[in-house]
A and B are shown apart, each in its own frame.
Chain A
Amino acid sequence: DGGITQSPKYLFRKEGQNVTLSCEQNLNHDAMYWYRQDPGQGLRLIYYSQIVNDFQKGDIAEGYSVSREKKESFPLTVTSAQKNPTAFYLCASRTTGSSNQPQHFGDGTRLSIL
C-alpha cells in the first residue's frame, strides 16, 4: 500500500543534542511538508519542499533543518538551537500542479526532552 512512513514513533532528546526525524513516502509525490503540532495551536508549518534539492522555510523554521536529496525522503533535524522541541511532528506529501490536491499525512513522531 502507498503511504507515508514516519520513524521513530517516539523520540527522546537530551539537552544540546541534535535529532533527526525520518519521513519516507512511496506515493510518488513531488511536494513534502513538515508540521509541528502543539495542544490548542493546530498545525504550524516548519519547512516544505516542492521538488528534489529545493526547500523553503515555513512559519517556524528556526532551530530546524531539512534536506531533500531524494524524492521519497524528507528528513527533519531538530537542532540544539530549538529551545522548546517537545511536540508532535507530522510529515505530509501531495502532488503538485494544483492546490486542489489534499495533503496525505504520516502517523507522526512524538519528541520529548529528557
Chain B
Amino acid sequence: AQSVTQLDSQVPVFEEAPVELRCNYSSSVSVYLFWYVQYPNQGLQLLLKYLSGSTLVESINGFEAEFNKSQTSFHLRKPSVHISDTAEYFCAVSDPNTDKLIFGTGTRLQVFP
C-alpha cells in the first residue's frame, strides 16, 4: 500500500529566505504526486503535480518540486518566500489501483518578517 511521509510538521522561516518542505512516499507501482496548499479555514488548492516526463515541476507562484525516484521523494522548494506563503502544505500520492489520494500529515510553513 502507498504511504506518504512529511517529516516536518512545522517549518519556520524568515521572509526572502529559501525553504524546502520534505515529502517521501512508498509505493510498489508508478504513482502520480501532488502538492496542495491550504490557507486558514479554506479547502486545499492544487499547487503542482508530477505525472511523467521532466522530474522538475513548477508552479505559477515560484514553488518547484523535484521527483526523485531512487530516493522516493518529492520535495517542495522555493528560493525566496513571502509572508503570503504562510499556509499548510500537503503532499499526496495517487493510488492507481484504488483511485484514491493518500495524503501526508501536512507541513505548516510559517513565514516571519
Binding site for B on A (CB under 8 A): 4, 6, 31, 33, 40-43, 45, 48, 50, 58, 90, 92, 96, 99-100, 102-108, 110
CB distance from A112 to the nearest CB of B (A): 13
Q: Could you show 24 A-B contacts with beta carbons less than 8 Å apart?
A: A4-B43, A40-B106, A41-B105, A42-B103, A42-B104, A42-B106, A43-B90, A43-B103, A48-B100, A50-B99, A90-B43, A90-B44, A92-B43, A92-B44, A99-B32, A99-B95, A99-B96, A100-B32, A102-B49, A103-B101, A105-B36, A105-B43, A107-B43, A108-B43
CB contacts between A and B, total, < 8 Å? 53
Main secondary structure of the interface of B (DSSP, over half): strand
**What CA separation (Å) do A101 and B104 show in the bound complex?**
18
**What CA separation (Å) do A24 and B42 show in the bound complex?**
16
Main secondary structure of the interface of A (DSSP, over half): strand
Binding site for A on B (CB under 8 A): 9, 32, 34, 36, 41-46, 49, 51, 90, 94-96, 99-101, 103-106
**What CA separation (Å) do A100 and B49 show in the bound complex?**
9
**What CA separation (Å) do A82 and B105 show in the bound complex?**
22
**What CA separation (Å) do A45 and B51 show in the bound complex?**
22
For B49, the chain A residues whose CB sits under 8 A away are: 100, 102
**What CA separation (Å) do A102 and B46 show in the bound complex?**
7
- Decide if B43 touches A42 in the complex (CB within 8 Å): no
Given A42-B106, A99-B32, 10 other A-B residues pairs in contact with their CB atoms under 8 A: A4-B43, A42-B103, A43-B90, A43-B103, A58-B100, A92-B43, A102-B34, A106-B43, A107-B41, A108-B41
**What CA separation (Å) do A41 and B88 show in the bound complex?**
12
- Decide if B99 touches A99 in the complex (CB within 8 Å): yes
**What CA separation (Å) do A26 and B96 show in the bound complex?**
25
For B42, the chain A residues whose CB sits under 8 A away are: 107-108
